[in-house]
Structure 1
Amino acid sequence: VGTPAKQITVEMDSEKSGYIGSKVDLRCRFINSFPPVKISQVTWQKLVNGSKQNVAIANPSLGVSVAPPYKDRVIFKNGAVRRRTPNLEDTTITFSALGLTDEATYICEYTTFPAGNRENTVNLTVHVRPTTQMSLSTPTLVARSSNIKTPVATCTSANGKPAGTIRWETRVPGEVTTREVKNADGTVTVQSDYILVPSKERHKETLACVTTYNEEVYTDSVTLDIQYEPDVSVGGYDGNWYLNRENVQLNCQADANPAVSLYQWRLINGSLPSNAEIRDNVLLFKGPVTYDLQGTYVCDATNSIGTQSESVEVSIIGMEKHPQNNKSYVLKNKWFFFLMQWLFYFLCYS
């Protein structure tokens, strides 16, 4: 039984890809017949709009020739091919400094005798990694009573090929709008906005943007800086301001962004008592408490966003109503001491 004849084939990858600026090998290998045929020439061509453009030629007699657009970027990988030898079975080329215009179908064609021409093709795809960026949509986010939804952060995957995909990771409920723009060079820019109602509760919350491109993942985040007017509370009054009590005071606390720039104290339907002293957010009453301190006190806290107020109503307890001067209070304490003495006697002498 004789040895089966080998078929003449041109082996190539059907698809090949590389990133812009990088290099890629386009494989081409001739499987010769038995007995072998003679290879006269190998021609690499680029298919452009249905027509063929020469890229590189290898000829056993004339050597290697590379067309001007590719002269500094395309070489035959096999050194034997470059040395004008008849060994043209492997005519893989290395494409370097890939550009977007290199994306095309390439033909590797063998001219043989007496079998004629044999060829195969490879589709070269050029990828472009996008540049990713995340930023606050506006320099200043302000919480307003109107509750209007607004874009607070923008995530961009620019000039990618193919386009990147964008998703958001955050605890903050909101809406997402995404749009794509196809650029003239074939790349795509994707922009995504995160939309919500700016509020005090969202201040210092984190938004993370996750961009995925060809299984590569990029993550960036921003912290929301939302400005809001003061949220005011007044402390210091414990409901036990009795006559002659010393050194009582009210203090005004405000949660605000930016910080409060001005605190103001006032008394509704009257003027502040003569012994009241204002120390920024503290209203200090010097000396003993008198009935003159009664009334409704208001603290106004102001920042660059607005002014908010909070009030407290102060009542003064007369000495006759103070617990230390209450007869029932004294009586109860006498019974307490009597019981304690009885218990002591019982434990000691029983």
Structure 2
Amino acid sequence: MARDYTARCLAVSPMGSCWLVAGMILLAAQGIMAQKVRVEEELEAYPTESIDLRCQFIDGGGRTKLTQVSWIWEPIDGQRDNIAVFHPIYGQSFPNLSFKDRVVFLHNSLENPSIRISNLKMADAGRYTCEYATYPSGNEQGTTTLVMLAKPKNSAKVLTVRAGSKSVVVAQCEAADGKPAATITWLASVEGNHSTSMTNGPDGTVTVRSEYRLDPTPADNGREVTCKVNQRTQDRPWMYPVTLSVEYPPSVSIEGYDDNWYIGRSDAVLTCLANANPPPTTVTWTMASGSLPDTVMVDGNKLMVRKVDNAVNATFICEVKNKHGASRQQVTAIVIVGPCVSADAVKISDAVKISILLLQSEERARFQDVGVPHMVWPAMSPDLNPIEHIWDQ
């Protein structure tokens, strides 16, 4: 490959820069071919697990003499610590106390000095170099990068807030002690925004926190927002819905008055309905003109009239309270003498009466045609006057 590139380079330009590039490629290729220490480039592991760091010396010509092999750990740039040494005469040595009793050689051999690290910790992440002291070529080495992973502990919660025009935090989500850092997003049907912060742990883990904010209204109470956490160690995104808790003072309405409170009626009921969070602590019925009469009974949010009379010809007020405030609504009842009849009912009644009169008239006509005496004709109802009813229509 290097020869082909050199040929193309010479064909394009004979300048010295072309020779420089070709020379660098040839040196890199020779370096790869000269690599004698075989290791794995990168490994991943989790805390408390064990991992094998493999190393093998490859000497095609068999002319290199191996004198010693060492494993060197680089947790950060610029820091190098021997954690394991093998010498064919002096044996094994483990000079780093943080790896004491956690590192062993898998083979008692200079050609294959692979090691096993047990009970891994997050702090064990870094570069592990298998380095040979050889004769006559000097030191030979290969490096494996150990990536320590940690699955985050995910959680989400809702914060109870009060309705208002100010933007507040209504939900929180956290992906704690993960590595690499998690990504948090929100799925919501309510318009809001979120902010995210990160905190680095002493062992290399990262805690990610996100807050969802909005201007809460009573309509937002009971709606859902969902926290979504993505992280490398998870097979799928972690999702957790939370139900918003927005508190607000009561809003009140009164139902039940039908404009038909007549003297003697016994089933008149008013119902006080309140929309509030938290639920109302008190519901109070009063009358604008004074105390409630004896004919009225209150049962929770219902006001029931045992028997309608002129005493309930009044304005009734319902007041509802919770910890955020109070609200009231009123309705004025007008007592009438008799029950109201709908226009449709009147039309139907009149139609029935007219039909009866027509039938009676037809029957009289038949009696007259056959000569039946007048005194035995069927009498018309004295309460019916078809002409007046027809004229009224």
What TM-score comes out, normalization by structure 1 length?
A: 0.80
Amino acid at match of 1:225: S
- SS of equivalent to 1:334: helix
Q: Are the aligned partners of 2:150 and 2:233 in contact in 1 as well (CA < 8 Å)?
A: no
- Structure 2, unmatched stretches of 5+, are 1-32, 362-393
**Alpha-carbon separation, structure 2, partners of 1:14 and 1:37:** 24
User: Which of residues 141, 144, 154 is equivalent to 2:172?
Assistant: 154
In structure 1, give the amino acid aligned to 2:87: N
For 2:242, the aligned partner's letter is: V
What's the offset of the Cα at 1:133?
2.5
d(CA) in 1 for partners of 2:359, 2:103: 106
Partner residue in 1 for 2:380: none
- When structure 1 is superposed on structure 2, of 293-302 and 49-58 the one drifting more is 49-58
Q: Of 8, 14, 30, which aligns to 2:57?
A: 30
Alignment of 1:1-350 (within 5 A): 9-35=36-62, 37-47=64-74, 49-50=77-78, 52-69=80-97, 70-78=99-107, 81=108, 87-137=109-159, 140-143=160-163, 146-216=164-234, 217-287=237-307, 289-319=308-338, 322=341, 330-335=349-354
**Cα distance in 2 between the residues matched to 1:164 and 1:315:** 67
Match of 2:336, SS state, is coil
**Who is 1:345 aligned against?**
none
Counterpart Cα distance in 1 of 2:340 and 2:239:
66
Equivalent-residue separation in structure 2 for 1:7 and 1:142 (angstroms): 71
Residue type of the alignment partner of 2:155: Q
Sequence identity percentage: 32
Shift of 1:182: 3.3
CA offset at residue 7 of structure 1? 5.7
Distance in 2 of aligned mates of 1:66 and 1:197 = 61
Distance 1:22 1:167, change over 3 A: same
Cα distance, 1:264 vs structure 2? 1.2
CA contact (8 A) 1:183 1:189 kept: yes
Residue identity in the other structure for 1:99: K
Verify the 8 A CA contact 1:8 1:32 in the aligned structure 2.
no
What is the identity, as a one-letter code, of the residue corresponding to 2:319? D
Q: Whose radius of gyration is greater, 1 or 2? A: 2
| 8 Å Cα contact 1:323-1:329 kept in structure 2 | no
Deviates more, 1:110-119 or 1:55-64: 110-119
| 1:11-50 deviation line (CA, Å, top 9, x unaligned) | 1122233223332222212222134644332211124653
Number of paired residues? 324
Q: How far 1:340 moved relative to its partner?
A: 9.8
Sort the Cα spacing of 1:219 and 1:20 in 2 relative to 1 into closer, same or farther, 3 A: same
CA contact (8 A) 2:162 2:248 kept: yes
1:97–1:328 CA distance, 2 compared to 1 (3 A) = closer
SS in 2 for 1:246: coil
Give the superposition deviation at 1:168: 1.6
CA contact (8 A) 2:151 2:233 kept: no
Cα distance 1:53–1:68, how it changes in 2: closer, same or farther (>3 A)? closer
User: In the aligned structure 2, how far is the partner of 1:341 from the partner of 1:327?
Assistant: 21
Shift, 1:166, TM fit? 0.9
Shift of 1:151: 0.4
Name the one with the larger strand percent: 1
State the 4+ residue runs in structure 1 displaced beyond 6 angstroms. Answer: 326-329, 338-342
Q: Are the aligned partners of 2:82 and 2:96 in contact in 1 as well (CA < 8 Å)?
A: no
Higher RCO (Cα < 8 Å, 6 or more apart) = 1
Q: Secondary structure at the match of 2:354?
A: helix
Deviation at 1:163, TM superposition (A): 1.4
Q: CA RMSD in A?
A: 3.1
In the alignment, residue 310 of structure 1 is paired with which amino acid? Q
